[in-house]
Amino acid sequence: MTVDVIEMDEQAAYQEFLNAYPEYKNTAVLDDLRQREYGRLDKTQQVYLDYTGGGLYADSQLQQHLSLLQNNVYGNPHSINPTSQAMTDLVETTRDYVLKYFSASPDEYIAVFTLNASGALKLVGESYPFSPGCQYLLTFDNHNSVNGIREFAKANGANVTYAPLTTPDLRIDQGRLNELLDTADPNHNNLFAFPAQSNFSGVKHPLELIDKAHSKGWDVFLDAAAFVPTNRLDLSQVKPDFVSLSFYKMFGYPTGIGALLMNKRMLKKLRRPWFGGGTVNFVSVQAKKHYLSDNEAGFEDGTLNYLNIPAVKFGLQHLEKIGMKTIGSRVNCQTGWLMDQLLQLEHTNGKPIVRIYGPTNTDMRGGTVTLNFYDPEGHLIDYRRVEELATAERISLRSGCFCNPGAGEMAEALTAEEMVTSLNQKATMTLPRFMQIIQHASHKSAGAIRVSMGLATTFSDLYHFMHFAAQFKDHTNHSLGQVTFDIDSCRVIRDGS
Ligand SMILES: Cc1ncc(COP(=O)(O)O)c(C=O)c1O
């Protein structure tokens, strides 16, 4: 926001915004929806800017679900009694709907219900046939639940390699990735994992990488958790072997359900390390043998979250009614404007107030903007204090490293040496100590502030956030005051959604 715009009232600023982003007018349906379906935000005066953490649900999603539960009797699925059958039908209808939503042909893909995206990732990690000579290749930019698969790979003797990013844009280094993709051994299993959209920088990584990796002998895991809330993933066009997602990120409700979309070819390849209730076709105690179901049931341990699964269909229908193009276009305009304004913020001495990590234009990026604030001398403002100050203004943003340590390490140029020194301190490591290690010679940050937009975001939310951001003008850590929470006990260092 230029000083002029900061001083404008909201209506005048909105007009300026529409002049700069005229296509925003075509998304007015979402302004109506915000009032009708998400009125609780304004009623409780909340500025919610943490959509990459979790989406928000519409009132009608809750009403539809409640009415379904109030007017029917449902039992545990997979028996032939009437209440069980009714539930089985609903679960299977929802499963079909999920495939249809992603244009995934049932001849090609299955949908496994999981607890969340991490559950989908873990299922593949524990079942993928890693062994010596096999490879797990992943980008620096990945959520911890994708990083965590490396433990299964390592334990089984496979090689683990990270493909770096370029700075400052935090996109995949394509030259280096090409070299790494060329190393697949056709006699072994090779798994490549990357996020369709970064939950750190908002970068959209090219989906063309899926075909490229396939042609070089890799199975591909696309983590779509941060991509699908504002983009259409069309599995008739791109064909990763595995896709992970959490439904609450797409439409807020219900929590506790995600999906693993898996190409049927992989069913023969994966080896589950155990069997549980509901996963076997045949099992004997005396013979000590079992046959796993050769479809999604083989991956769904125990009783599904069956009463909540039908709410997934209501959520998907809600998104379909709005249209992913409308959501994507709106968030794109909002992101462009927010970055334009943030980059114009200056201290009196002309120094920038904000640094944005990753791309600063809307080309191949989504509505996740990660940044830090700096004082007039260029010293980092403590991001934890920023979150506290935002909280006092009822602004929900997120601070930390967002469970994506690799993107953070690249963004801040944290060195392997600094990270090893920190890790050597094992469990005694605290956030202040970590900050000491990495800030001793430079002004590197252990974390950042993340602002993320979603389908219910309005211009007004961004206007409020910009007013908040502009208040950092000419401030220092000293003038902003101490972080008030108990920082010495804080051990959550490289995690946190
Ligand atoms: C890109 C990405 N992948 C995976 C996850 C894990 O999702 P969940 O915590 O729902 O398992 C997240 C969550 O923030 C994410 O942003």
- Is the shortest distance between the CB of 142 and ligand 1 below 6 Å? no
What is the phi/psi pair of residue 370, to 5°?
A: -110, 135
- Is the shortest distance between the CB of 226 and ligand 1 below 6 Å? yes
138 burial class (0-12, 13-18, 19+ CB within 10 angstroms)? buried
**DSSP class per residue in 417-453:** HHHHHHHHTGGG--HHHHHHHHHSSS---S-EEEEE-
- Is the shortest distance between the CB of 195 and ligand 1 below 6 Å? yes
Residue 94 to residues 17, 100, 104, 120, Cα–Cα distance (Å) = 40, 10, 14, 17
- Is the shortest distance between the CB of 497 and ligand 1 below 6 Å? yes
258 burial class (0-12, 13-18, 19+ CB within 10 angstroms)? buried
Q: What is the pLDDT along the chain (497 residues), one digit of tens a residue?
A: 445 566 789 999 999 999 999 999 999 999 999 999 999 999 999 999 999 999 999 999 999 999 999 999 999 999 999 999 999 999 999 999 999 999 999 999 999 999 999 999 999 999 999 999 999 999 999 999 999 999 999 999 999 999 999 999 999 999 999 999 999 999 999 999 999 999 999 999 999 999 999 999 999 999 999 999 999 999 999 999 999 999 999 999 999 999 999 999 999 999 999 999 999 999 999 999 999 999 999 999 999 999 999 999 999 999 999 999 999 999 999 999 999 999 999 999 999 999 999 999 999 999 999 999 999 999 999 999 999 999 999 999 999 889 999 998 898 888 888 888 777 776 667 777 777 776 654 567 888 999 999 999 999 999 999 999 999 999 999 999 988 865 544 445 556 66
How many angstroms does the Cα of residue 228 sit away from the middle of ligand 1?
Answer: 11
What is the phi/psi pair of residue 327, to 5°?
A: -65, -45
Q: Are 244 and 117 in contact (CB under 8 A)?
A: yes
Q: Quick one: which atom of ligand 1 is closest to the CA of 223? A: 3
Tokens for 238?
């791109």
- Alpha carbon distance 418, 421 (integer Å): 5
- Is the shortest distance between the CB of 145 and ligand 1 below 6 Å? yes
User: Could you tell me the pTM of the whole model?
Assistant: 0.95
- Alpha carbon distance 134, 381 (integer Å): 44
How many angstroms does the Cα of residue 199 sit away from the middle of ligand 1?
Answer: 8
Closest residue by Cα to atom 13, ligand 1, is 497
3-state secondary structure of 228: coil
Q: Quick one: which atom of ligand 1 is closest to the CA of 118? A: 11
The DSSP H or E segment spanning 258 is strand 258-263
User: Which is it for strands 368-373 and 354-357: parallel, antiparallel or unpaired?
Assistant: antiparallel
How many angstroms does the Cα of residue 225 sit away from the middle of ligand 1?
Answer: 6
Within its chain, how far is the Cα of 63 from the centroid?
27
How many angstroms does the Cα of residue 287 sit away from the middle of ligand 1?
Answer: 40
Catalytically annotated residues: 403
- Is the shortest distance between the CB of 412 and ligand 1 below 6 Å? no
**DSSP class per residue in 301-328:** -SS--TTTHHHHHHHHHHHHHH-HHHHH
